[in-house]
Chains A and B, each alone.
Chain A
Amino acid sequence: MAVLAPTGDFRTSYRADTTIFPTLGSRAALWAGLAVLCFAPLVLDRYFLGLLINVGTLSIAALGLNILVGFSGQISIGHAAFFGLGAFASAWLHERFGIPVLLCIPIAGVMTAVVGLVFGAPAARLKGLYLAIATLAAQFILEDFFARAQWFTGGVSGRITESPVIGGFAFDREESYFYLVLAFVVVMFVAAANLMRTRDGRALVAVRDHYLSAEIMGINLAYYRTLSFGIASFYAGIGGALYAHHLLFVSVEAFNILFSIQFLGMVIIGGLGSIMGSLMGAAFMVALPEVVQSGADAIAGGALDRMLKIGGNISFLREMAIGAAIILFLIFEPDGLARRWKLIKAYWKLYPYSH
């Protein structure tokens, strides 16, 4: 029930009681983790760095979706379209106006947020399944727009993007781009954590938990329901822009509804209404196909492979693994990895007297 504070960890001011990471241990672990990540490019090869960069870009977008779905209790099945909009917007801004890429990324985020506010406007009136269908419309409208708007997306041939440059230094290799993504991840996650401990973040959760009493408390329901779409789209736009300048090529087909469902999967697996959960969910989603792949590689050529012909069917095995993971999480851990992590921490905190 109450928060378990370790013995001796006293808080003597309200300031000390409002920190994002509640205990000394968790703060130390955070700084240690960041320090380790800073050395990652020296140790890991490019392939793994690429995966970590993917985790970073996807987790920013997933965090946006979590603010919308987990914290505000709404639904969107068009998140990938906003992710794509951010990617194209940033590439387009750079090529058309010659704005430095590092500036293009936040501007693309704002552009995506504006479009998100437009498509989020129905949220002021719609709920549940009806809202889901309305966001589905956003997905299809944007996808169609990507395919037709040659000037913006390059049409079917896609759009080539460039790497960000600061004062002659180009983030054009995995090793350097990693630091850029890490910086964005830290800023965006801290911003979200700050949001949730202030007025507007509480208002979002209040609207989710009990909108009638939230209204009596002076919260404008329509404003906050629409605002959460704007914030979610902003995060999707930033994630998308980072994704675009990493791959250096954006294709129109990438941002389909399956990708939107994958974002929902990240949020559910990571934990609805958990900020760190968004990161865990994105990491899980990136790691899962790799694990399936290496599992398939390990048994490739063996008796099992000859019997089931797994080697040839790896692509659909991946899709099945994602589907199975979502279902298993919904059944066994509906609150996601974040809760599992909490339970593990609580277990060790009380060990060996866990009852």
Chain B
Amino acid sequence: MGDHAPILQADSVSLRFGGIRALTEVSFAVRQGEVFSVIGPNGAGKTSMLNIVSGRYRPTEGRILFDGGEITRMRPNRRAAIGIGRTFQNLALFGHMSVLDNIMVGRHHLLRSGFLSGMAWWIGGAQREELAHRREVEEIIDFLGIQHIRKAQAGTLSYGLRKQVELARAVALRPKLLLLDEPMAGMNLEEKEEMARTILDLNEEWGMTIMMIEHDMDVVMDISHRVMVLDFGRKLTEGRPEEVLVHPEVRRAYLGEDDAAPAETVPA
């Protein structure tokens, strides 16, 4: 797993907001088929990095390569079609739509009918297309086990369910690279376990490459193939979870150990 060519590559990416340096010369590569996690303290630039990959920010310097082409300046709405999907840290569902419609929005770039053929419904194939995609969306609904809420209004759901729906919506894009911004935040242990299993399934069975920001170190260590650590907008290190964990600077910056303590003991 993860020994293929890189699908995503960041080439000394810097991001400045006026005088604030959110990211400084960060380079990394996500390989095809791996689960790649980004960790770091609050304000380290993790979400900024994800926003650059999904196109919400443009880097001040540096380049982003995806699937062999440069996408540094590509508009965010074009990135769905080339295979980048994401979820948000703070839920970003379409609150007044049903769960089903939310997920169907994920099919947007795969659907062809415009407003005219949509209005004609029976003529011009809009109905046929809708039903075909409905079938695919139902597969995702089955996979995530959210059949019981498919007609519910997304805004009325509980937090954990909304997270599930958001993941379903991102999966409906059929992305090659799925960006997850803190998928387990605010979940209890049981929900976390289920989410971790879902992510692994998406990675192994659905063949999606995952880039994930997560604070829960147990989860990160358990399911990631590789981990990158950011601190104050700089990359501290990158590597397999067990390597990263014992890295002295990581322990000082993130895991909250004081400078004097020995660096050999692995924290629980």
Contacts and interface: CB of A to CB of B under 8 A. Distances in A.
Interface of A: 1-3, 14-15, 17-18, 191-192, 194-195, 197-203, 205-206, 208-210, 212-221, 227, 231, 273
Given A14-B135, A202-B101, A1 B118 contact: no
A78 B56 CA distance: 33
23 contacts: A1-B153, A14-B131, A194-B120, A195-B118, A197-B121, A198-B117, A200-B115, A200-B118, A202-B101, A202-B108, A205-B97, A206-B97, A209-B93, A212-B88, A213-B93, A216-B79, A217-B105, A217-B106, A218-B78, A218-B108, A219-B105, A219-B108, A220-B77
B44 to A, nearest CB: 22
Given A2-B152, A216-B80, A202 B104 contact: yes
Given A2-B152, A213-B88, A217-B173, A227 B96 contact: no
B156 A1 contact: yes
Nearest to B84: A216
A198 B113 contact: yes
Interface in B4-41: none
Contacts of B169: 217
Interface string B70-106: 0000001111110001101000111111000100111
Given A205-B96, A217-B105, 18 more contacts: A18-B131, A192-B119, A194-B119, A195-B115, A195-B118, A197-B118, A198-B115, A198-B117, A198-B119, A199-B111, A202-B104, A205-B97, A216-B76, A216-B80, A216-B86, A217-B169, A218-B79, A219-B108
B80 A217 contact: yes
A209 B165 CA distance: 15
Interface in B117-175: 117-121, 126-127, 130-131, 134-135, 138, 149, 151-153, 156, 169, 173
Contact of B94 (A14, A15, A210, A221): A210
Contacts of A17: 134
A213 B106 CA distance: 10
Given A195-B118, A213-B93, A18 B130 contact: yes
Contact of A198 (B93, B109, B118): B118
- Which 6 pairs of residues, A with B, have the shortest CB-CB distance? A218-B80, A198-B118, A209-B94, A218-B109, A213-B92, A194-B121
Nearest to A1: B152
A73 B173 CA distance: 24
Contact of A209 (B96, B106, B109): B96
A165 B89 CA distance: 60
B33 to A, nearest CB: 22
B54 A216 contact: yes
Contacts of A197: 118, 121, 130
Contact of B105 (A195, A206, A212): A206
Residue among A198, A202, A214 with the highest chain B CB neighbour number at 10 A:
A198
Contacts of B118: 194-195, 197-201
Given A3-B151, A209-B94, A209-B95, A218 B121 contact: no
A192 B120 CA distance: 10
B94 A195 contact: no
Nearest to B100: A17
A198 B121 contact: yes
B121 to A, nearest CB: 4
Interface residues of B, number: 49
B93 A210 contact: yes
Interface in B30-68: 54-56
Given A2-B149, A2-B152, A217-B80, A194 B126 contact: yes
Contact of B113 (A199, A214, A219, A220): A199
B108 A191 contact: no
B217 to A, nearest CB: 27
Contact of B77 (A3, A200, A221, A273): A221
B111 A210 contact: no
A15 B127 contact: yes
B262 interface: no
A216 B112 CA distance: 18
Contacts of A3: 151
A290 B47 CA distance: 59
Contacts of A14: 131, 134-135, 138
A193 to B, nearest CB: 9
A18 B105 CA distance: 16
B56 to A, nearest CB: 7
B114 interface: yes
A221 B79 CA distance: 14
B115 A206 contact: no
Residue among B81, B85, B94, B127 with the highest chain A CB neighbour number at 10 A:
B94
B234 to A, nearest CB: 26
B105 A214 contact: yes
A120 to B, nearest CB: 14
Given A2-B152, A3-B151, A199 B108 contact: yes
Contact of B134 (A18, A195, A221): A18
A76 B263 CA distance: 64
Contacts of B54: 216
Nearest to B54: A216
A217 to B, nearest CB: 5
A203 B80 CA distance: 14
Contacts of B135: 14
B173 A195 contact: no
Contacts of B127: 15, 18
Contacts of B107: 199
